[in-house]
Structure 1
């Protein structure tokens, strides 16, 4: 779906958002506020205009209204929403607009919660050519998946604003988050879906190929490098397991210990049985020719021909919640740091949930999306419980007031 402009609809609190762009007509649907289901629907052809303000009465736009849809270039991490004032308060703020964050926001918006996604526009999988293993979305470019997710969140009244959250505080019963440019937003609950950072070995040429032909996940990239000569660059104790795992996709595998991996006798036997070569010694650089990876050069000067490299990076969740006393901790598998949470994403800080790679380092895109939905359902249930408690307290106060008035003969 093409990113498009929006126009405000007044006096009803609503937004008209273009959702498709045929050659000779546009369709605008009311998707935000109190306009009711399908209240504003405009289909127009021929010469069209944009930027008009529409007066809606009883959910019906003026006859003959014409609106021109103007496609905009997609900008990662942004959806074209009306301007948001700083210090705005919503029910839930989602920090991070990847698969987990947008899925959580979509579920919350459909639960009729006011929700804002704050996204820095730097998805972890941006270098990859496509998302894989995501039913009905296999091969979709990551930025297209994000763009479609933003459109869906906006359709139900959610908002996505650009920004990098640098701190969060609990103030007067609300969470207040601050971006690096000074904007402040507050919410009753937080969902953190900031993903993680992959820390790569300092090998010349490695980082430039990351997500292209330097890979880490066989389920994400194995099919694309099937039957090719693959080098597994040793980074730690998981490297032998990674080499054996990638053996399912190609029989042409070389494990480079890179002076970081000690292969035990049992492991060497397993590797030999599966036809995996082991090369000892330090790695000097990644060889590239005409923008194609061609080999791994050792410190000795020897070059081993491979067309792809797999490795296990050290993965670190961000520290955006440190101001709330919630810091990442070492993962039990020793592969990095994550934010601890229960099965729904609930953290040790009441009112704060986390979803996706920030807590589950191994989650693929589809798993992160599912986790966002689970967390959103838990957040909504928590808010329902709080809303119910507030309503019960108000009811009791009203009853007590009536009883006092009756006792005093008022």
Structure 2
């Protein structure tokens, strides 16, 4: 452990202020822990603040993550927390609600009123899925109500799958899910009815189109059994796929003046995200983002990779700052010489 890390972790500044860490990571999911791991291995003092609300908590397993295929999300996070601790990273349970510049660092305020300080921030707070207001839908989210075929398609292959139409991308979603099952039904629900070309494509692939608003979901013993229309018609289904609105958890970033912008796919707004450069650097100097808060469609493996990139970029930025300070200190004794 280097001198800077020891000083940050073992001392408390005058006036009772919290320690100053090289980096404070807000959010302890795959992106945040990967960034913390990278920084910890770079001998940086790091604090991870986690509210304990992972987006994938309802999911049974993580998929398409080489070496971790089928791992329950909780097990992956527990392993990650143990790994970062080996490199001196500190973990703190809590909800970070705001941050502000304080001299040459940031002060992060938690919901309980406590505060911590860091020279750099990595925000990996993820997103919230805003789901359609269909009775019974939220209760099945992550089990029989799904959103991503690459995350869950294999597990529900060959089942009776419904696609809830909430916008113009629903036709694409129905054709996509058709890869995993021959029994696909597109419920028009609140979307515009597909045009002639879309009807032809759906028919050619054997996708059934049902016109009418969905009123509720029927279940038996906690499992989906059917989709009920407003007119009372019941369409048996075992799985329903939904494209919810993807909204970043951006409260801390908003307090720093970094606001979400609309996220479009094929000309349709599907949510919002925080814009950043390829390393995750935001418009606010010293603030990086990684994971679903900036890449809402990223799977776990991509979020973890983004955390590594951001962690390396933060370390490089700190090195540049420390080098400037070292050069200034080296010159200082000679600045007044005649």
1:332 aligns with 2:256: no
Match in the other structure for 1:281? 212
Where relative contact order (Cα < 8 A, 6+ residues apart) is larger, the structure is 2
Q: Distance in 1 between matches of 2:67 and 2:120?
A: 31
CA RMSD of aligned residues (A): 1.8
Shift in Å, 1:146 = 0.6
1:159 aligns with 2:90: yes
Q: Within 5 A, what are the aligned runs for 1:126-275?
A: 126-275=57-206
Worse overlay, 164-173 or 315-324? 315-324
SS of the equivalent of 2:329 reads helix
SS of the equivalent of 1:129 reads coil
Match in the other structure for 2:22? 91
* Equivalent residue in structure 2 for 1:380, among 296, 307, 315: 315
1:304 aligns with 2:239: no
- 1:244-293 alpha-carbon deviations (Å, 9 max, x no partner): 11111111000001032431211111111111000011101011001211
1:341 aligns with 2:272: no
Match in the other structure for 2:291? 356
SS of the equivalent of 2:255 reads helix
Higher helix share: 2
Shift in Å, 1:210 = 0.3
**Structure 1 unmatched ranges of 5 or more:** 1-11, 14-31, 35-81
> Normalization by structure 2: what TM-score?
0.93
Is the 1:233–1:309 Cα contact (8 Å) retained in structure 2? yes
Question: How many residues align structurally?
Answer: 326
Is the 1:88–1:184 Cα contact (8 Å) retained in structure 2? no
* Equivalent residue in structure 2 for 1:321, among 253, 268, 272: 253
Worse overlay, 307-316 or 233-242? 233-242
Q: Distance in 2 between matches of 1:162 and 1:109?
A: 18
SS of the equivalent of 1:321 reads helix
Shift in Å, 1:86 = 6.7
Shift in Å, 1:238 = 1.6
Worse overlay, 190-199 or 255-264? 255-264
Q: Distance in 2 between matches of 1:267 and 1:301?
A: 27
Is the 2:193–2:211 Cα contact (8 Å) retained in structure 1? no
Shift in Å, 1:218 = 0.4
Q: Which has the larger radius of gyration?
A: 1
* CA pair 86-202 structure 1, distance change in 2 beyond 3 A: farther
Q: Within 5 A, what are the aligned runs for 1:27-106?
A: 87-106=18-37
